[in-house]
Amino acid sequence: MNGANILIQALKHEGVDIVFGYPGGAIMPVYDALLDSGIKHVLVRHEQAAALAADGYARVSGKVGVCLATSGPGATNLVTGIANAFLDSVPMVAITGQVPSHYMGTDAFQEVDIFGITMPIVKHSYIVRTADDIPRVIREAFLIARSGRPGPVLVDIPKDVATAAVSAWGFGPTEYEPAELAPIEELESAREMMASAACPLIYAGGGIRIANAVDAFRRFVEATGMPVVATLQGLGSLPDDHSQFLGMLGMHGTKAANFAVQGCDLLICIGARFDDRVTGKLKEFAPHARVIHMDIDDSENSKLRFVQCSLRGNIKISMDALHVRPEIQEWVEKCYADRTEYAWRYDAPTETVYAPAFIKELSDRADTDTYISCDVGQHQMWVAQHYGFKRPRQHLSSGGLGTMGYGLPAAIGAHFAMPESRVIVISGDGSIMMNIQELATIKRYQLPVKVVVFDNHGLGMVRQWQELFFEKRFSEVDLSDNPDFAKLAEAFDIPAITVRLKSEVGGAVRRLLEEPGPLFVHVLIDPAENVWPLVPPGKNNSQMMEATV
């Protein structure tokens, strides 16, 4: 056994059966050990895609995603994916090769201090100094990645450590943090606040999915009878058609959700962090509300918004301890009346494709075993607004970092997590070009991943902001010289269609749902179409801008 062999054994001990990566000099001993390991390796075409695929795999499976890269540019190409996982609390272990120990610090070929570079964007990091340390380091890395508030861990292995003989090795038991109940006095305070509230509101975040707390959350919602709003990452925690759900809140949230936030007198925040895209003008966010905050990460409590009751620990246990149902019929009726009054409309008077209507039709016809992987931009917000998610793991979206190019590699990871399920990428003509080389990965492994690209010949979200807030001074948002996407997909042996008219949408959706293999759907939309409503910078969530006709 050398270090690389024992690394593989350590990964198998953690239950790893798939890794995403790209080989190179310093990581070559590990790739040699992979050959006979039984662990499936997915060769992506860019290391960033390896990290994003591991991210997508982790979000869908609930397991720790693993990515591999060599030293130098291989390691630095992982950085965006590591940061993405860090900001969205995704469990990941990133393993990088490093130059031999005696060359470290000498500016050797393909040497970078990846330990230092990633310090702000990992939960923990290691430079392995001896091969004997590898079993302990890997066990700790996986424990840290998946415990508490999950996140990425970096393991940097010098090449001489990977080739060194291991004198003795063994694996101890995998440890888990015990489930924690919030202090009794805090639970009692929360119960009193809930019982006395006249206008309470539940604010659901991505922590519900991360904690595998969906069932507990739904029990809590049913027991309390309170209206619910969700963040981008919290969508699907409650089915979109649930009678108590008002929609997504925040910058591009529904009017019903945002009005409820601004009018509530008690806000119960579960697994969310008061992100700026949610709160708008923070000083005026939920201005009349006392706040109960449930989160595994105590550092989030009162970080941005002062909370009157902080429920630290396991949110599943906290929710099950708080089945309090106040008398709130008048408030509930107002919230539901707003939801009806401000419901979405899809009757755009045009013969061209209206992206929200396309997404709504796809949502209505897809089964609940369909996974949607988004890129970042206008299409991302349209998906959040108009696709009806029934479970949170159905929805893959880069929230905290807003990573263009996320959708395609994340979908590849999602497919390997759930190979019998349908996976659809929804992207834009800007985002898809960020990692379009991963069409080669789809081709190589014959993945039945579908890709929808909404093409408005520009960087739509940036253009929208330049239109609204920069006096229509459009700067570097024209993408009209992009390639013919259908022909490009066909060059990768992926069938492709182009959709130009509203009348063609039904057939395109049918093919997306029935095509047995991969499919690329290029959808042309109006370059002037914007995402509405929009809470402008410096405004509160009740001050939403809407389309003017």
Q: What is the 3-state secondary structure (H, E, C) of 386-406?
A: HCCCCCHHHEECCCCCCCCCC
Catalytic residue among 47, 111, 300, 529: 47
Three-point CA angle 137, 142, 144, nearest 5° = 90
Is 446 marked active-site?
Answer: no
| Virtual torsion, Cα 106, 107, 110, 115, nearest 10 deg | 80
From residue 125, alpha-carbon distances to 85, 216, 262, 462 in Å are: 14, 33, 41, 35
159 part of the active site: yes
Catalytic residue among 123, 159, 255, 316: 159
168 secondary structure, DSSP code:
-
As to burial, measured by CB atoms within 10 angstroms (0-12 exposed, 13-18 middle, 19+ buried), residue 475 is exposed
- Name the active-site residue from 1, 12, 28, 110: 110
DSSP 8-state secondary structure symbol assigned to residue 178: P
Q: Is 47 a catalytic residue?
A: yes
Q: How far is CA 465 from CA 171, 458, 474, in A?
A: 54, 13, 9
| Strand intervals (E) in 89-145 | 92-98, 124-127
Residue 42 DSSP label: E
Tokens of residue 111, six digits? 């040497």
Catalytic residue, chosen from 294, 461, 492, 520, is: 461
User: What is the token pair recorded at 183?
Assistant: 């202090």
Q: Which residues pair with 458 in a beta bridge?
A: 478
454 tagged catalytic: no
Written as one letter, the residue type at 222 is E
* CA-to-CA dists, residue 61 to 31, 91, 212, 216, 371, angstroms: 24, 11, 11, 19, 12
Q: Give the C-alpha separation, 118 to 100, whole Å.
A: 20
Alpha helix ranges (H) inside 62-123: 73-77, 79-87, 114-117
**What is the enclosing helix (H) or strand (E) of 443?**
helix 439-445
Burial of 471 (0-12, 13-18, 19+ CB in 10 A): exposed
SS3 13: helix
Tokens coding 325: 């149902």
Q: Which of 150, 154, 122, 149 is nearest to 138 (CA)?
A: 154
- Chain Cα centroid distance, residue 111: 31
Which is nearest to 29 in space by CA: 97, 123, 122?
97
In terms of residues, how long is the chain? Answer: 549
Encoding tokens for residue 163? 């080739």
User: Whole-angstrom Cα distance, residue 142 to residue 344?
Assistant: 43
Burial class of 184 by CB neighbour count within 10 A (0 to 12, 13 to 18, 19+): exposed
Active-site residue numbers? 47, 109-110, 159, 461
